Structure 1
Amino acid sequence: MLSQLRAAATLLGILTILLGILYPAAMTAIAGAALPEQAGGSLVMRDGQPVGSSLIGQAFAEGRYLQGRPSAAGNGYDGASSSGTNLAPTSAKLADRLKTDGEAMKAATGASTLPADAITTSGSGLDPDVSPAFAELQVARIAAARGVEADAVRRAIAENTTGRTLAVLGEPRVNVLAVNLALDALAPAPAAPAAGTPTASAATPAN
């Protein structure tokens, strides 16, 4: 009995060291050497300071910025509370919100139809991208707010649009943070941004 316990404890100790310490440390070191940007969180820098991640969305409520899809993470784009709404497709609350938000979006943009991501939330609530169609809906507003030509805004969007992965997986997508940094470079915002983000704004809570 004692010999069996000793063997089990020895095996546990060896596996703990190998799989709990050495293996994770080795993978971390390899990832840091081979893919330093991704291993560091895919941070986006401006003037030597991190302003966000290309993988995590953040709130942009001001008219001069490209805005992401609605977020149900906390009070909106809360990285500490990543989540969707968990409302079922048959939920009356969800239907009412989609109808209200859809009517408001159509009134603001003049569009007769809307891309799904214009009014629906993502599963994580931290989606960093929007569809090209949703980005196009915002071109006129951004151009007017910044006093630039609409084509200049479209170029910033096109330059930060990624196609389907391997040409077949997923859908084309526009990175919101990258576009907004490009817009600030094109026509700087009149107000100084809050530290750590290109804009100081809070997302409207989405349910």
Structure 2
Amino acid sequence: MRMSTWIRQHVAALRALLVLTVITGIVYPLAVFAVAQLPGLKDRAEGSLIESGANTVGSSLIGQSFTDDKGGALVQYFQSRPSAAGTGYDPTASAASNLGPENIVDSSPDKIGLLSTVCGRSKAVGELDGVDGGRPFCTPGGVGAVLSVIGPRERDGSVDHPVTVVSVNEFCSVTPHPFLTEYRGVRVECATEGEDYSAGLIVPIRGDAPARPAVPADAVTASGSGLDPHISPEYAAIQVARIAKARRVSEDQVRAVVDAHSSGRTLGFLGEPRVNVVELNLDLDGRYPFEG
């Protein structure tokens, strides 16, 4: 007796299921596993783990924070770039801040936007490493230099004759004296927490900071994953003097270790030159232990 069309279709489907299960569920994973065990690939396949003595201390692919229990930078270590992954470099919470370039107004002293975040970080790095932490559109106090200019609008949206001018990121409870004394002849006021100044024309003030700040961009912005273990050679360079002083060695000795953990662009054109901070700090501990 010939099988019905319905039965034949289901038998064919079952055979396809079994064949694809064997191929994709057994053969392919085994093939990938076998390839991953080849010399040069095995370490990466197993997480590129870093061993120190009998302990696993991290991965060369995942960054770490080198700070104390209060979040302060440990002076003997090169600092990583900021991280938005959980509380910092949490592999289970890989993420970016998702704040964009137009996020320039703070909600309160505790809820700050991207601009003030960058300004504050730049100021802190500058103080830590003895360089100028100033950057365009930042106040000397380390917040976004942004005004709300309130007054009658012209046809093009400008405010030529302001009535009130408020430094929206400088709250009176923290900074009673704004970074500008006046704007277009009107005294600049500090912001009152809880007030909405969106009715005014939002005007960022560039200031006189150099176009190329001493503190590089990767020192003040998080990576897309929040897990990047690398920093730029420029960020490493401004930290050398601090590391050398803390470990009581010469700056040339520290630079030699930095060079040993530096990489150029992949294949000569992909990405940017970089320094692996995790491997660098571990090597420094081995060569020049910090004595406190």
TM-score normalized with structure 2 length:
0.62
- Where does 1:1-207 land on structure 2 (aligned, <5 Å)? 1-34=6-39, 35-61=41-67, 62-92=74-104, 93-112=113-132, 113=213, 114-190=215-291
Give the deviation of 1:10 after TM superposition. 1.5
Contact 1:109/1:137 (8 A) holds in 2: yes
Task: Give, as a single letter, the amino acid of the residue that structure 1 aligns with 2:241.
Answer: A
Give the deviation of 1:173 after TM superposition. 0.6
The unaligned stretches of length 5 or more in structure 2 are 1-5, 68-73, 105-112, 133-212
Give distance in 1, aligned partners of 2:120 and 2:45.
41
Equivalent position SS for 2:89: coil
Give per-residue Cα distances to partners, 1:85-135, cap 9 Å, x unaligned.
111221131111111111222233333322110100000101011001001
Give distance in 1, aligned partners of 2:33 and 2:226.
27
Contact 2:246/2:290 (8 A) holds in 1: no
Which structure has more helix as a fraction of its residues? 1
Aligned to 2:175: none
Contact 2:50/2:57 (8 A) holds in 1: yes
Contact 2:48/2:60 (8 A) holds in 1: yes
Give per-residue Cα distances to partners, 1:168-189, cap 9 Å, x unaligned.
2221110101111221122213
- Rg larger in structure: 2
Aligned to 2:205: none
Contact 1:74/1:81 (8 A) holds in 2: yes
Aligned to 2:152: none
Task: Give, as a single letter, the amino acid of the residue that structure 1 aligns with 2:63.
Answer: G
How many residue pairs align between the two structures? 191
Which structure has more strand as a fraction of its residues? 2
TM-score normalized with structure 1 length:
0.86
